[in-house]
Structure 1
């Protein structure tokens, strides 16, 4: 038994020095062997900006074709499952801070019986706890958008720093709601690398990019209502993961119409599995 304890100690130290971490709950005969396969030095940390190529033909957009890896190898998606009965849409909101519109958005979602994913930062949980609790109570998914909203490739130099960006949000959510945070993650600013995706997957997360977004993120430079509705409607497609920002006055104003019109066009809103 002493030999086994020494061996585990040495293995733990070696992985710590190489930039990998072994969860404390795994330091036993039930060690997660997948952890031993991750050699961080093997992954490219070139920062990549997420983008897609929109179209108005209701087709799934093309994405960066220069990647030398597959997104699904790292449990990353940008389009959701499709449904044989109804065309599918997946509504997601990014929440870095509160701008007074999230409650209105939640009112509309409740009225229309639509569930969404809200990607929140630690800041948002601290300063809008009642809103987060309402999201959970009304059946929405509250997911991880990091502690500091850093570009994730910039913190891959340290597994401790990287993990803390996600663990801090998890811990605050658990203390507030008593629940474990669902393992969905949205990279801040859409910045990622193969290495950051690998490290995110190693923490058990699904990385959720998007196949629709538009310029709704500047509170003092909001798109007009007419433009916003037309832009959204002309880019809907089956399985689309829509990224909207809850700080947007325009989004709060048009959300009900967007939901109604999408349903008239044969779509239904779902949560990602």
Structure 2
């Protein structure tokens, strides 16, 4: 009984915190992270904790630097901890499937970058694509006991009207990002150094923008986080911005 009461108090406290943020956040930003090699994930969590910032994570089962997968049992405690902290979560497809084309028969041509068919184009029916979106949600619930938001981000942001309609029919709403919200962590370090990316973001981001970064990019030699992440958050706060998850987004939050 005491444990149940404590849980209710915790949930009530999180709800009150969310409501307070939404009510007092005049210049909101929506910082999001897609999964990656997870090498910087612990550092990202430390920064978010220090700065008391809640974000939205989009989950795919991606290969990690430790030789595993981002949604395997090794990473389950990390995801549970983020869920307990009050972050929000959406789907990024299970095998990180990038849309290539619509087929005349109504199927979709996609190329997964993960899983047994990595790098090989494959065709999916609308039902198969819905299942691909659902797999991270099912795994997330198994790891954390929580439900995802009915939101997804297509890898690379690549979609078609037909793909979006198919996803919508099975309950999923797509989330892209704002032009200034592309934080550039997947760009080559020699041409886009961290200092340049930081200044560009600080100069360009506007209220209501959705920002996108990753939990580790294989090709970037000079890691974007935490080198850019913490000064970016501090700099945006100094400009009067505040951070919310997509639960609090004025239109995407209604997707629930």
Q: Shorter-normalised TM-score: what interval?
A: 0.5 to 0.7
SS at match of 1:179: coil
Q: How does 1:90-129 map to 2 (within 5 A)?
A: 90-98=30-38, 100-123=39-62, 124-126=70-72, 128-129=75-76
Structure 1 residue 122 displacement after superposition: 2.8
Structure 1 residue aligned with 2:235? 261
Question: Shift of residue 243 of structure 1?
Answer: 0.6
Give me the whole-angstrom Cα distance separating, in 2, the residues matched to 1:231 and 1:194: 31
Say whether the 8 Å CA contact 1:121–1:144 is kept in structure 2.
Answer: yes
Offset at 1:140? 0.8
Do the aligned partners of 1:244 and 1:251 also contact (CA within 8 Å) in 2?
Answer: no
Matches within 5 A, 1:134-145: 134-145=81-92
8 A contact 2:153–2:176 mirrored in 1: yes
1:209-228 equivalent positions in 2, closer than 5 A: 209-211=176-178, 212-217=181-186, 223-228=192-197
- The equivalent residue for 1:65 is none
Cα distance in 2, alignment partners of residues 139 and 157 from structure 1 = 34
Question: Which residue of structure 1 aligns with residue 79 of structure 2?
Answer: 132
How far the C-alpha of 1:267 sits from its partner, in A, is 0.8
Which of 1 and 2 has greater Rg?
A: 1
Q: Which residue pairs with 1:239 in the alignment?
A: 208
1:135–1:142 contact (8 Å) kept in structure 2: no
- The equivalent of 1:199 in structure 2 is 166
Query: How has the CA–CA distance of structure 1 residues 237 and 268 changed in structure 2, closer, same or farther, with 3 Å as cutoff?
Result: same
Are the counterparts in 1 of residues 30 and 243 from structure 2 also a CA contact under 8 Å?
yes
* Per-residue deviation, residues 129-177 of structure 1 (Å, max 9, x unmatched): 2221121111111210001111244257413321221121111111111
Does residue 1:169 correspond to 2:136, yes or no?
yes
Alignment match, 1:187? 154
Root mean square deviation, CA, Å? 2.3
Q: TM-score, normalised to structure 2's length?
A: 0.68
Structure 2 unaligned regions, length at least 5: 1-21, 63-69, 100-107, 111-122, 218-222, 249-256
The CA distance in 1 between the partners of 2:191 and 2:48, in whole Å, is: 21
2:199 alignment partner in structure 1: 230
Query: Match of 2:97?
Result: 150
Using the alignment, how far apart are the partners of 2:136 and 2:83 within structure 1? Answer: 15
Give CA-to-partner distance per residue, 1:4-39, whole Å, 9 cap, x none. Answer: xxxxxxxxxxxxxxxxxxxxxxxxxxxxxxxxxxxx
User: Match of 2:226, SS?
Assistant: helix
Q: How far did 1:218 drift? A: 5.5
Cross-structure match for 1:5: none
Q: Is the 8 A contact 1:93 1:119 kept in 2?
A: yes
